């Protein structure tokens, strides 16, 4: 597998800045080791990352560790997106901002000299990463807690361990600067809504509504749980998946009638709602409210 060399390098700081700035906060930033060395993503891989994330006009894209700015610049130029990159190396920040100005997109794309670990990225609809595996893992709790459900996260070459990607692709990368294999992996995750807990579940069909208890557990986008059925007690949900706020659950026979049914719906905070389907035909409606 191609790898970034895990060398620890100090981010260079212009001498003039060092001579004239002695504030503690600045000293802390400039002395920080690079958490990932600078290696640019080949342009073909940048293009695929942004295509997999379906970047479009109006999206807010944030690149953590933005290097020469190519991901953000491509997102703005080819997809009409806006956003910013953060980068610890001041020369790369300057180069990226100059390039954005030269291309006439500096009103939509900015590069900030900032530590990616202290960056507020909750506004992103798309988060892009080409960082080392441990850095991805260190960022993972913040990604899951702070990004809106449905936000697309794309990573070049490194995954998120047991948070399995929603999609992945291998891309030829003949001009790749690291590794023996001249190809790259791109991983895509859709930040899942949080639905773990107890719900009051209602099924409506033929003018009648039935209420029962739904208990859901969640491991990233994978959902399991039980539904309480008359005469059967708590019966396991046979399949559950989240894609952002879109939820699919397969309920066992007995929930509506004798066959299994699929629930397709949407999460809106403490409410769930959608349609009940059998063999792709809508047969009922369902909703649920979170119990406190």
Ligand X SMILES: C[S@@+](CC[C@H](N)C(=O)[O-])C[C@H]1O[C@@H](n2cnc3c(N)ncnc32)[C@H](O)[C@@H]1O
Q: Which residue, 31 or 234, has its beta carbon nearer to ligand X?
A: 31
**Residue 67 binds ligand X (CB under 6 A):** yes
Per CB under 6 A, 84 contacts ligand X: no
**At a CB cut-off of 8 Å and minimum separation 6, what does 130 contact?**
4, 36, 39, 41, 65, 67, 71, 155, 156, 157
Q: Check residue 245 for interaction with ligand X (CB under 6 A).
A: no
Q: What residue has token string 């992996």?
A: 185
Query: Shortest Cβ distance from residue 138 to ligand X (Å)?
Result: 10
Q: Does 44 contact ligand X by CB under 6 A?
A: no
Of 2, 3, 34, 106, the residue at the interface with ligand X (CB under 6 A) is 34
Q: What phi, psi does 133 have (nearest 5°)? A: -55, -45
Residue nearest to ligand X (CB): 65
Using rule CB under 6 A, residue 86 touches ligand X:
yes
Q: By CB under 6 A, is residue 136 in contact with ligand X?
A: no
Q: What is the rounded CA–CA span in Å between residue 250 and residue 90?
A: 52
Looking at the Cβ atoms of 74 and 151, the one nearer to ligand X is: 74
- Asked if 191 touches ligand X (CB under 6 A), the answer is no
Residue 115 found at the interface with ligand X (CB under 6 A): yes
Is residue 70 a contact point for ligand X (CB under 6 A)? yes
Closest approach of Cβ 244 to ligand X, in Å?
Answer: 24
Interface with ligand X: number of residues (CB under 6 A): 25
Which residues of the shown chain bind ligand X in the complex (CB under 6 A)? 4, 32, 34-36, 38-41, 63, 65-67, 70-71, 86-89, 92, 115-117, 130, 156
């Amino acid at each position: 597998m191609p790898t970034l060399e895990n060398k620890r390098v100090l981010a260079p700081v212009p001498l003039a800045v060092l001579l004239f700035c002695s504030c503690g906060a600045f000293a802390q930033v400039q002395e920080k080791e690079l958490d990932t060395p600078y290696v640019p993503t080949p342009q073909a891989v940048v293009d695929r990352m942004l295509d997999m994330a379906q970047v479009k006009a109006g999206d807010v894209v944030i690149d953590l560790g933005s290097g020469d700015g190519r991901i953000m610049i491509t997102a703005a130029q080819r997809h009409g997106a806006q956003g910013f990159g953060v980068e610890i190396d001041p020369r790369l920040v300057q180069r990226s901002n100059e390039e954005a100005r030269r291309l006439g997109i500096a009103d939509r794309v900015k590069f900030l000299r900032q530590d990616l670990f202290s960056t507020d990225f909750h506004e992103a609809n798309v988060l892009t990463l080409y960082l080392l595996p441990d850095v991805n893992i260190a960022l993972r709790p913040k990604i899951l807690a702070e990004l809106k459900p449905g936000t697309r996260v794309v990573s070049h070459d490194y995954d998120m361990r047991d948070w399995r990607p929603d999609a992945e692709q291998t891309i030829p990368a003949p001009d790749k600067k690291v590794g023996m294999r001249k190809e790259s992996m791109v991983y895509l995750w859709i930040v899942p809504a949080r639905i773990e807990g107890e719900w009051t579940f209602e099924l409506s069909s033929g003018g009648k509504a039935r209420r029962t208890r739904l208990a859901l557990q969640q491991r990233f986008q994978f959902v399991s749980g039980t539904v309480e059925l008359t005469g059967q007690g708590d019966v396991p949900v046979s399949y559950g998946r989240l894609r952002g706020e879109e939820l699919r659950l397969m309920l066992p026979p007995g929930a509506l009638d004798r066959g299994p049914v699929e629930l397709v719906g949407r999460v809106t905070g403490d409410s769930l709602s959608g349609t009940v389907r059998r063999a792709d035909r809508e047969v009922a409606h369902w909703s649920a409210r979170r119990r406190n």
